[in-house]
Structure 1
Amino acid sequence: MLKKTSWQRWLLVIVAAIAVVWAYQAFDVGNLLTLETLKSSRDQLLGLYASQPGLTLGVFFVGYVLAAAVSIPGAAILTLAAGALFGFWLGLLVVSFASSIGALLAFLVARYLLHDTMQARFTRTLAPINEGVKRDGVFYLLTLRLVPVFPFWLVNLVMGLTPMTAARYYLTSQVGMLPGTAVFVLAGTQLALIQSLGDVVSPGMLASLVLFGVFPLIAKFVVGFLKRKKLYANWPKPKRFDRNLVVIGAGAGGLVTAYIAAAVKAKVTLIEGHKMGGDCLNYGCVPSKALIRSAKLAKQLKEADQFGFEAVSGKANFAKVMQRVHQVIAGVEPHDSVERYTGLGVEVLQGHAVITSPWHVQITLADGSTQTLSTRNIVIAAGARPFVPPIAGLEQAGYLTSDTVWNLNELPPRLVVLGGGPIGCELAQSFARVGSTVTQVEMAPRLMSREDPDASALVQASLTDDGVHVLVGHEALRIEIQDGQKTLIVKEGKGDDATERSIAFDEILVAVGRSPRVTGYGLEELGIPLTARKTVQTNAYLQTLYPNIFAVGDVAGPFQLTHTAAHQAWYAAVNALFGQFKTFKADYSVIPWTTFTDPEVARVGLSEAEAKDQGIAYEVTRFDLEELDRAIADGSTKGFVKVLTVPGKDKILGVTIVGEHAGDLLAEYVLAMRHGLGLNKILGTVHTYPTLAEANKYAAGQWKRAHAPQKILALLEKFHRYNRGGETSPPLAEKSA
């Protein structure tokens, strides 16, 4: 309940708002503050100013202050009027002070009414904003005043909620609004002189119109120049550079960035502190898919009798399975090797990189020696590492992650997998199929919570069929060790209804997510900020706080996907090397991903749950794979194709595919969404029979049947009946008559 003082404050603002609305309507302010009214009443106003200059100035000043304070439409007309009535210098003086005082009044009202309440309610959210305003608030406000991106009233309101002092706000507004005010007042002096068509092309009028048009561009350039000057003030810029580009990290993002730079003949250095190829080659995509392939074969062999084979055990030799995993890594390794990239024209240095200034990178090489490179641009592609939660006893018990699990040579008899996301599900299923007794623990109420419930339900059912003991809604509390026996204690439920249970294990695999690598290479010293998700903060062009330092891949987000890192790399490379001519915003509008469980789950665009949460209208078309000939022949009928479309139209909003080779099937929809093609185009495309890809066409066909023109079909039915001699006149002719 509001305190008495709060009621008084709000009563005051309500009364004031009613008074403003009444005055606006009663005095027909909306029609008065127009250019036509100003021109038609110009002579009368000039006469009034000539006879009573002091009174006219005073009334105008007070009126402008009130108009600015309550943010009524027409401030631009009042500014033009000041130029028309008082001339340039006096008009500039009056408007400059009146607008700043009005802005200050609005600022103070917002602070009096809302500041304490908003700060108390959103303390955590506003904390970084408050810190930013304390550090650079004057510059932010100056930018908004010079280049008015946001409405005048909104700036007053928002800044009133921050810690900025009233004096600083007023002085910054006074300075920041002065150039724009000058342009409007000058335009007003010229508009007042228009008597005939010839006056429109007078030198003064043309000059004012040119200033009016180019001022925002000039202001934007000035603001950018001042911002860069302040930002780089402590970092002297070299007169010449050793490199056009230095890339830190040789994962997918770094490799593609370096490749593009070398392809356009830039001098580029790629620095990797560990293994070329990054996480994907050495710990993620490649080894996990190799293990998944072996695990899938083990499953197929165990079910060989369904395909007419007898006495097939399907028992896996884990040591040989892991040997194959490393052979696969070795087979892919040359694609990401030092030799290949050196051959492409990239200088590759293996060592630890530290950004010592926006223009310099220091490298500590394997032999302990160091060297410092100067570079025009830097791209950070440092990747991510497994996140390890603070569970009591975990360090003492020892644990595996998606990085270290590939060092196993013996199959863990009892394996606990913490985490129900893509990595946890893929590894839990694979280890169960090759012979481990697997228990999977997930705190959320279902596995793969980013996907729709029907998709995650199919995955959970499949994992259960493979022998995984899935515990959703369970929180890992601690690990106890007694007589060498390791036990995980988990909790289900909350409060008095909570129950604990013990899970004995030999190995525990932590797969609860990955944390961006943001420490140890200079970000802290340069003051490059992080987001709430602890990724490097970048703008739409992938620039960090320093415009010549970019970030891509897992370290930048928003997706931790190899192909997204490669996608971002193009933008980072092009913006870094050619940004002085043209920059490109990174496009995340059509980003696909796949979880390689069996069945696979692949998605692009909106899920049904996301559409509901965002209030987006949609229709659902679903085709079940059990109706597909090829799926029946292969014995892979578990799954579906689900397409979300705009109601009544074939425009695709999102697609989820669950089933065999879902990731491959998704590509057709990714192409369609990327190029604005709808379901009608997919339906009109010939698909080979019998293939799994026909599922896409059949899904489009189901949409088409649901949107068939029933009235036309009824007429056609009558037409065909007439052709069979069932009616005396064609129905189409009757309708046209």
Structure 2
Amino acid sequence: MKKPGKFDRNLIVIGAGAAGLVSAYIAAAVKAKVTLIEAGKMGGDCLNTGCVPSKALIMSARVAQQIRRAGQFGLRTVEPNVDFPAVMRRVHESIARIEPHDSVERYTDLGVEVLRGRAQLVDPWTVSIALNEGGEQTLTARAIILATGAEPFVPPLPGLEEVGYVTSETLWDSFSRLEEVPQRLLVLGGGAVGCELAQAFARLGSQVTLVEMTPRLLPPEDREASEVVERCLREEGVRVLVGHKAVACELDAVSNKRCARLDHGTGEETLEFDQLLCALGRRPRLQNYGLEELGIVDDGKLPTDGYLRTRYPHILVAGDLVGPYQFTHMAAHQAWYAAVNGLFGDIKKFRVDYSLVPRAVFVDPEVASVGLIEQDAKDKNIPVTVTRYGLDDLDRAIVDGADRGFVKVLTVPGRDKILGVTIVGENAAELIAEFILAMKHGLGLNKLLGTIHIYPTMAEANKFVAGNWKRAHAPEKILKWLERLHRWRRG
């Protein structure tokens, strides 16, 4: 494998999801000659099967739930009449409206060469592209970024193929062919995707059973947050089975009845369903890119360093392919490092900053977090002060009927330095942005407390939790002295 004396491109990017698009954009912005290769749809999972369609579905489901709650606002309560085909059409219309943001035309205008085809590494500098319209093209590049993303994990569950299933990737086309919402939906996996879709389909009229093998939903999140989510799901009619593991699926060939066997530790339970959704996480797309042959992938693993470089320093990775956080915003964050290190790493390279990674679960109420959570602090013996403010005390939350949830802040003992935040409540993913900014720039709770927040808004919760911290850390000696001073001045 001889390194070419000259190259066709400065950078080749394989995969046009969030990581690939941002990498290519950055390269074009600094006037590098860059080619972006994608065999499937532009925009990747987020646009086509992930963030965009799921949030469109969640919004329709939320409106349906608001109709059910009309009585709480002095209006007549009615059961929403869900037109499921129309809901799914709206999902696809939302995708279509956003598609131009990630289109071939837009990126071509930005200076990126976009090739539609399947890429494979021939050697560490050469990429062969089997073009979608036919033919083959071979290009060399000084640097290559792998941004091939991830795909839903489907467990080796006996009988699963026979009963049929959908994933977060396939349900959008599969369910678009249904005339009605699935009557009985079984969701395997109580993580973010499982909880979001379980709640959405329950609100649209499905009888939903949500199965999670661990003792609680949303295992990576704050324990109190997962308890709030589980309680709200149960109140909305979702049957939540934590501590249950699916062990097999069965199909009755005569009646076409589908069922799953669930092990709950002390025995088994059989559950009938009409549709099954696998939401058990995602695994990197590593196959058929020539990575094994070059030793970039070893025993299913993709080793990288802190600069996103593989065993070949000029071949870098970004996004869900590498993790450790499979979020669209993290893919975009990594893309900057991959592009800059790929183009300029021999001059100056940058280690990826994972110190502040926010995340959100778009259930209702939303869960958003950044930094440490309380359980992790306990498990790692990190001393923290926990300050909490309940949204049932917030004026705007009360009048909006959105008083479920809380703001929880972890700080350094005796100081206002923020180590972590969890918010559960209406628009939590928006509210946490203030804390992310504060943590990024070293601003403590005293600075938040001294910032004017508009009344009445949900954002006041951020100020009030800072106020709770301040009261708990009031200087008692000074206050006692002031009390004596005021008493003396009264005469």
Q: Normalization by structure 1: what TM-score?
A: 0.65
The partner residue of 2:346 within 568, 577, 580 is 580
Residue of structure 2 equivalent to 1:702: 468
Residue of structure 1 equivalent to 2:335: 569
The partner residue of 1:319 within 57, 79, 85 is 85
Residue of structure 1 equivalent to 2:415: 649
Residue of structure 2 equivalent to 1:256: 22
The partner residue of 1:459 within 207, 210, 229 is 229
1:529–1:536: 8 Å Cα contact kept in structure 2? yes
Q: SS of the residue aligned with 1:609?
A: helix
Deviation string, structure 1 residues 616-645 (Cα, Å, up to 9, x no partner): 110100000001111011000000000000
1:246 and 2:15 are equivalent in the alignment: no
Alignment of 1:275-314 (within 5 A): 275-310=41-76, 312-314=78-80
Q: SS of the residue aligned with 2:432?
A: helix
Q: SS of the residue aligned with 2:283?
A: strand
- Higher relative strand content: 2
1:615/1:530 CA distance change after superposition, 3 Å: farther
1:311 Cα deviation from its structure 2 partner: 5.1
1:722 and 2:488 are equivalent in the alignment: yes
1:604 and 2:347 are equivalent in the alignment: no
Moved over 6 A (4+): none
1:570 Cα deviation from its structure 2 partner: 0.5
| Residue identity opposite 1:557 in structure 2 | G
The partner residue of 1:691 within 434, 454, 457 is 457
Q: SS of the residue aligned with 1:526?
A: coil
| Residue identity opposite 2:241 in structure 1 | L
1:599–1:658: 8 Å Cα contact kept in structure 2? yes
Residue of structure 2 equivalent to 1:450: 220
1:529–1:545: 8 Å Cα contact kept in structure 2? no
Residue of structure 2 equivalent to 1:337: 103
1:430 and 2:206 are equivalent in the alignment: no
User: Structure 1 stretches of 5 or more lacking a match?
Assistant: 1-234, 726-737
Residue of structure 2 equivalent to 1:121: none
Q: SS of the residue aligned with 2:64?
A: helix
Residue of structure 2 equivalent to 1:379: 145
1:516 and 2:284 are equivalent in the alignment: yes
The partner residue of 1:487 within 254, 259, 272 is 259
The partner residue of 1:365 within 126, 131, 134 is 131
How far apart, in 2, do the equivalents of 1:523 and 1:569 lie?
20
How far apart, in 2, do the equivalents of 1:315 and 1:596 lie?
24
Deviation string, structure 1 residues 451-496 (Cα, Å, up to 9, x no partner): 1211000000111111110000011011111221001110111xxx
1:706/1:311 CA distance change after superposition, 3 Å: closer
Q: SS of the residue aligned with 2:488?
A: helix
Residue of structure 2 equivalent to 1:403: 169
How far apart, in 2, do the equivalents of 1:530 and 1:671 lie?
39
1:525 and 2:293 are equivalent in the alignment: yes
1:530/1:705 CA distance change after superposition, 3 Å: farther
1:516–1:535: 8 Å Cα contact kept in structure 2? no
Identity in percent: 61
Q: SS of the residue aligned with 2:292?
A: helix
How far apart, in 2, do the equivalents of 1:469 and 1:252 lie?
35
How far apart, in 1, do the equivalents of 2:401 and 2:187 lie?
29
1:305 Cα deviation from its structure 2 partner: 1.5
1:535–1:556: 8 Å Cα contact kept in structure 2? no
Q: SS of the residue aligned with 2:248?
A: strand
Q: SS of the residue aligned with 1:680?
A: helix
Greater shift, 520-529 or 534-543, is seen at: 534-543
| Residue identity opposite 1:323 in structure 2 | R
The partner residue of 1:502 within 264, 267, 270 is 270
1:405 Cα deviation from its structure 2 partner: 0.9
How far apart, in 2, do the equivalents of 1:627 and 1:306 lie?
18
Identify which of structures 1 and 2 has the higher relative contact order when contacts are C-alpha pairs closer than 8 Å and 6+ apart.
2
1:256–1:569: 8 Å Cα contact kept in structure 2? yes
Number of matched pairs: 485
Residue of structure 2 equivalent to 1:159: none
Alignment of 1:139-288 (within 5 A): 235-288=1-54
1:580 Cα deviation from its structure 2 partner: 2.1
| Residue identity opposite 2:45 in structure 1 | D
Residue of structure 2 equivalent to 1:440: 210
1:368 Cα deviation from its structure 2 partner: 2.8
1:472 and 2:214 are equivalent in the alignment: no
How far apart, in 2, do the equivalents of 1:333 and 1:529 lie?
32
| Residue identity opposite 1:437 in structure 2 | Q
Residue of structure 1 equivalent to 2:321: 555
Larger radius of gyration: 1
1:535 Cα deviation from its structure 2 partner: 5.2
| Residue identity opposite 1:486 in structure 2 | R
1:712/1:267 CA distance change after superposition, 3 Å: same
1:538 Cα deviation from its structure 2 partner: 1.1
Deviation string, structure 1 residues 32-72 (Cα, Å, up to 9, x no partner): xxxxxxxxxxxxxxxxxxxxxxxxxxxxxxxxxxxxxxxxx
1:536–1:551: 8 Å Cα contact kept in structure 2? no
| Residue identity opposite 1:527 in structure 2 | G
RMSD: 0.9
Q: SS of the residue aligned with 2:293?
A: helix
User: Structure 2 stretches of 5 or more lacking a match?
Assistant: none
2:446–2:466: 8 Å Cα contact kept in structure 1? yes
1:576/1:626 CA distance change after superposition, 3 Å: same
How far apart, in 2, do the equivalents of 1:458 and 1:535 lie?
36
How far apart, in 2, do the equivalents of 1:241 and 1:357 lie?
13
How far apart, in 2, do the equivalents of 1:336 and 1:602 lie?
26
2:292–2:298: 8 Å Cα contact kept in structure 1? no
2:407–2:421: 8 Å Cα contact kept in structure 1? yes
1:420–1:447: 8 Å Cα contact kept in structure 2? yes
How far apart, in 2, do the equivalents of 1:633 and 1:294 lie?
23
How far apart, in 1, do the equivalents of 2:480 and 2:34 lie?
68
Q: SS of the residue aligned with 2:28?
A: helix
